[in-house]
Amino acid sequence: MSQQFPSSCASGPLAGLRVIEFAGIGPGPFACMLLVDMGAEVVRVDRPGARVGDSSDIIGRGRKTVWLDLKEETDRAQVMDLLEQADVLVEGFRPGVMERLGLGPQEVARRNPKLVYGRMTGWGQDGPLAQAAGHDINYIAITGALAAIGENGRSPVPPLNLVGDYGGGSLYLVVGILAAVLEARRSGAGQVVDAAICDGVLSLMSLFQMQSQRGRHKEERGSNVLDGGAPYYTVYETSDRGWVSLGPIEPKFFALLCEKVGVPQELRDAQSDRPRWPALRDALAAIFRTRTRADWCALLEGTDVCFAPVLPLSEAAQHPHIRARQALVEVDGVLQAAPAPRFSRTPSSAQHVPQPQITSPADVLARWRGGAPDDPPRGLA
């Protein structure tokens, strides 16, 4: 059963941290979801009339929303009042947009010198492509990541938007924001966090850059250990047209796989012998086609073979391990991922799904300026 999380109040290690999020799409909202999960109070600034209260908007959970027109001087003044009381700003516009609105880092710093100014873009704040439109697929394309993913001899395969938007974007933005908040607590001065997806993806590719320089990484897709090229680190189809995954990289784990599934004796020493990889792959493919996915789970799951069934989202929620860890939770009737990572003393909690009510800037400021006695201490103090 999924766990029913409370949604009435924030908890977590960032309780008391105040964040102003300028509404956008992709990595910025996901980064703010992570901050909300860890206890930060995020107020989203959105255009008047923007849709709110979509219960299926998991990534928008836990926010308060204010409607302000950034093209109107009076509304921009209210935004600046909010920023004066905030710890963090998050925006994902093209470079120069916030400056043209009079809300750039220099202008904001004059009102709140301690504010951390988080900027999320694909290309970065400068460079030849800084003003060009783009999406996840483009950012991972120029960094070498997309070219490395897919089957040998076939076209590259976009890995959803996990590597660019969320891996190279959101996660690096969150790390940068938290580091800058810690530093601001010591120095009393905020700074700009320039989080570019291209930069983050290049960082994620560090292992493969290293292997390439050591002559251990081939640029042909499906030719390396971690890209499906190795017959012991890939997926196989079962008799019922399901799929299972294998990953016994260590020799002792590969030996256990051979023993349990009955790999022919003449191929049990072929793990590191690339010329024999095709024969080993054919043998494993033939073996896994003899039983159903459930049969293979009964035999191999939980062993050191490094095995797991390949599950679609609809089945993942019912897997015993996911259920035992309550890794999917139900909030306001909506099933969604529980906050990650987990904290032993200041646990995070999944907050309510987006609410239909609009919060006024005055209400936010009254609370933030008032410093009510029951308010939690400021995050990362």
User: Exactly one of 135, 295, 319, 332 is catalytic; which is it?
Assistant: 135
Segments making up each domain of the chain, as ranges: 3-206+327-370, 223-322
- The pLDDT assigned to 351 comes to 83
Superfamily of the domain at 223-322: formyl-coa transferase, domain 3 (3.30.1540.10)
What does the CA dihedral 61, 47, 180, 10 come to, rounded to 10 degrees?
-30
Edge-to-edge order in the sheet of strand 88-91: 64-67, 41-46, 18-22, 88-91, 116-121, 192-196
Tell me the whole-structure pTM to 2 decimals. 0.92
Burial class (CB in 10 A: 0-12, 13-18, 19+), 270: buried
Indicate which residue of 37, 75, 136, 165 is catalytic.
Answer: 165
Q: For residues 70 and 101, give the distance between their C-alpha atoms in angstroms, rounded to a whole number.
A: 7
pLDDT for 8 equals: 40
Mean pLDDT, each 10-residue run in order, the chain (381 residues): 41 95 96 97 96 88 95 97 98 97 98 98 98 98 97 96 98 98 98 98 97 94 96 98 98 98 98 97 98 98 98 96 95 91 93 85 93 50 50
The string of DSSP codes covering 218-280 is -SSTT-SGGGT-STTSSEEE-TTS-EEEE---SHHHHHHHHHHHT--GGGTT-TT-GGGHHHH
- The CATH homologous superfamily for domain 3-206+327-370 is Crotonobetainyl-coa:carnitine coa-transferase; domain 1 (3.40.50.10540)
Catalytic, 165? Answer: yes
- What is the per-residue burial (b if ≥16 Cβ within 10 Å, else e) of 87-116? bbbbbbbebeebeebebbbeebbeebeebb
Cα dist from 134 to 27, 50, 92, 168, whole Å: 13, 23, 12, 15
pLDDT in tens, 4-45: 333 345 689 999 999 999 999 999 999 999 999 999 999 999
> Count of CB atoms within 10 A of residue 62's CB?
25
* Terminal-to-terminal C-alpha distance of the chain: 37
pLDDT score at 332: 85
pLDDT in tens, 105-132: 999 999 999 999 999 999 999 999 999 9
**Packed helices 171-187 and 197-204: angle between N→C axes, nearest 10 degrees:** 100
Tens-digit pLDDT profile for residues 300-310: 999 999 999 99
Q: Is 321 a catalytic residue?
A: no
Q: How far apart are CA 219 and CA 223, in angstroms?
A: 8
pLDDT value for 56 = 87
pLDDT given at position 377: 47
SS (H, E, C) 298-352: HHHCCCCCCEEECCCHHHHCCCHHHHHCCCEEEECCEEEECCCCCCCCCCCCCCC
